[in-house]
A and B are shown apart, each in its own frame.
Chain A
């Protein structure tokens, strides 16, 4: 069977599986729709959370970001930032929100800060973060389709939207949970199988995490030493010590990603689906187990793929790859525009160098590090087909989780909570389905007409969540004295400062000409790049909330009782009843 047919078969099989689950796991109540009935096992929830949260960016782009754009060690910000957040989530957020026992994140903020205005502000912050995030996923779906199945981007996007429509509208959180479990299995196999083979080929060790620290086959040279040597020979900075801009920037970047993880509503609501408070704690651990399998493999993929690529580009004699002899996979990826060369000196060879004047590899896309891996390692076609299915699973599972967070904020917080509190449960369930359908259509529209900033917005979504929702939740749980005025001013100030910083360097609404300060190091506050600014926004949020709370009337007694109530596990049943 040729690769094209095989890819259709594998992807078609996974899609049939997702639709089967959708029909089986329909939602019968709002509790099913918002929190999957509340009876998901903590290990199952951990697996679903891992798929929910590992996006197309984690699967397709991260290894390349580490290996190429962030030059090795600098990419550690993603590895630590996108895993360390689970420690915060498990200790500071998830158990208490599970105890509170309702359906959405803005609902908690509204109750704790005794105000529909606070709830509305939280809904707006949620929508800004989640929409920023979902655009990248819709793009991921379209791109995966167009690269692997050679259908055009738009068609791919429509197919992806239809699949999500099926299980998200029918099953809500219940359908999403079970499809995410299936999607996790697909994506983790697709990620680890090529990695194991590459590690075996290069180091003889089948465990990539160990392979990265091993010697190369048939030599006593360590892989990382060799990598440091070849990249410095080409004029790049040393792989294992290449800092991203500065220590301060790496610190801020990592912290923004960590607290952003703990403040992203689509991740938090997954912990509302487990039966008990203690399950919420352990489930965060299980989520990180399943995430860590990919996240500890990714740096190995990054280092090994970089070495393989440099090796290929060096040619047989190390003098540059002879253009006519370039391998088939190289030609295939040229067609997609992910690789491109320009024989500037006309010697019939490709010279790869850090020096822009000499370098003839004019385009090496980050995504190539994962996408071309199976071909570079000469793996069978079914592995390549599996990588296609894995990329789609990663994008679809995250998109569905985000869409649920958006639609439940609309149907449960805005409609049921504020506009028409008297609607029946059945009417709310219908409303939530309609909100979901609109959210999918809206996300699809943005995927078809991506605003110019769509690339690289994922890190920004974390910064926005870090500066708005995370501090509000922290103060809601750990302080009894923060007032509604304080919380509202804090959220507005935090997300405002972060957006302002991004806009001043990247352009208002990302329109490049409107940036009034250049996007370069000397213009950055303390040398912190815009993607890493969420932590400063969070500091602003905390400070503003604290100061405003000092000068406004303290929260009423029942709110202080609510804070006491969520701090102790027993009695979460009562909270559900009212």
Chain B
């Protein structure tokens, strides 16, 4: 069984969900937001030869996805330690 009592268990899960929700919001904004919904607006801006909306759709969103996963992994490892639920080395 989990070493956490009910209260702690709820708090751990709540913190996990809130981190997830923030990161998934960014995930949604860079791909569906910048890459699809707002693409025409962002295409008014140019960086080098790339129109910004096109860049997000074909390059930028992928780089942001990478950052999101590693950030999540790092923050969750810290959260596991804080609650003493990390696995033994």
Contacts and interface: CB of A to CB of B under 8 A. Distances in A.
Interface stretch (A144-152, A292-300, A331-339): A292-300
Interface residues of B, number: 47
Contacts of B84: 570
A296 B85 contact: no
A251 B34 CA distance: 12
Given A79-B57, A90-B72, A569 B85 contact: yes
Given A86-B65, A91-B24, A278-B86, 9 more contacts: A73-B39, A90-B72, A91-B72, A212-B49, A213-B48, A251-B32, A278-B87, A299-B59, A571-B3
Contacts of B72: 90-91, 281
A79 B51 CA distance: 17
Contact of B12 (A289, A561, A568): A568
Given A91-B72, A247-B37, A241 B85 contact: no
A281 B37 contact: no
A201 interface: no
B87 A570 contact: yes
18 contacts: A83-B65, A84-B31, A84-B65, A90-B69, A91-B69, A214-B49, A241-B39, A247-B37, A250-B36, A251-B32, A296-B59, A296-B63, A567-B13, A567-B16, A568-B4, A568-B9, A568-B12, A571-B87
Contacts of B62: 79-80, 83, 288, 292, 295-296
Given A215-B49, A285-B69, A292-B66, A92 B20 contact: yes
Interface of A: 73, 75-76, 79-80, 83-84, 86-87, 90-92, 95, 209-210, 212-215, 222-225, 240-241, 247, 250-251, 254-255, 276-278, 281-282, 284-285, 288-289, 292, 295-296, 299, 561, 564-565, 567-572
Given A76-B58, A83-B65, A91 B49 contact: no
Nearest to B26: A87
Contact of A213 (B27, B55, B69): B55
Main secondary structure of the interface of A (DSSP, over half): helix
Contacts, number: 151
B11 to A, nearest CB: 12
Nearest to B89: A276
Interface in B5-56: 9, 12-13, 16, 20, 23-24, 27, 31-32, 35-37, 39-40, 43, 47-51, 54-55
B20, B57, B65, B86, most chain A CB atoms within 10 A: B65
B50 to A, nearest CB: 4
Interface of B: 1-4, 9, 12-13, 16, 20, 23-24, 27, 31-32, 35-37, 39-40, 43, 47-51, 54-55, 57-59, 61-63, 65-66, 68-70, 72-73, 76-77, 80, 84-87
B50 A224 contact: yes
Nearest to B31: A80
A299 B58 contact: yes
Nearest to B85: A570
Contacts of B66: 285, 288-289, 292
Nearest to A570: B85
Nearest to A78: B58
Given A76-B57, A76-B58, A87-B65, A240 B87 contact: no
B65 A222 contact: no
B86 A569 contact: yes
Contact of A240 (B4, B37, B43, B69): B43
Contacts of B61: 79-80, 83-84
Given A570-B85, A571-B2, A87 B49 contact: no
Contacts of A569: 80, 85-87
A110 to B, nearest CB: 22
A434 B32 CA distance: 45
Contact of B49 (A223, A299, A570): A223
A289 B58 CA distance: 15
A284 B16 CA distance: 17
A254 B9 CA distance: 35
A212 B23 CA distance: 29
Task: Enumerate the 4 nearest inter-chain pairs by beta-carbon distance, A residue then B residue, closest first.
Answer: A222-B49, A76-B57, A285-B69, A281-B73
Contacts of B63: 292, 296
Nearest to B3: A570
A250 B54 CA distance: 14
Contacts of A247: 36-37
Contacts of A87: 23-24, 27, 65, 68-69
Contacts of A86: 65, 69
Interface centre among A255, A284, A569 (most CB of B within 10 A): A569
A223 B32 CA distance: 26
Contacts of B43: 240-241
A544 B69 CA distance: 31
Contact of B73 (A278, A565, A568): A278
Contacts of A224: 49-51, 54
Nearest to A75: B58
B23 A91 contact: yes
Given A240-B43, A570-B3, A276 B87 contact: yes
A73 B52 CA distance: 12
B27 A209 contact: no
A73 B57 contact: yes
Nearest to B76: A281
A84 B23 CA distance: 12
Contacts of B50: 212-213, 224
B68 A572 contact: no
Nearest to A81: B31
A269 B48 CA distance: 41
Contacts of B3: 570-571
A295 B76 CA distance: 27
A87 B19 CA distance: 13
Contact of A214 (B48, B58, B87): B48
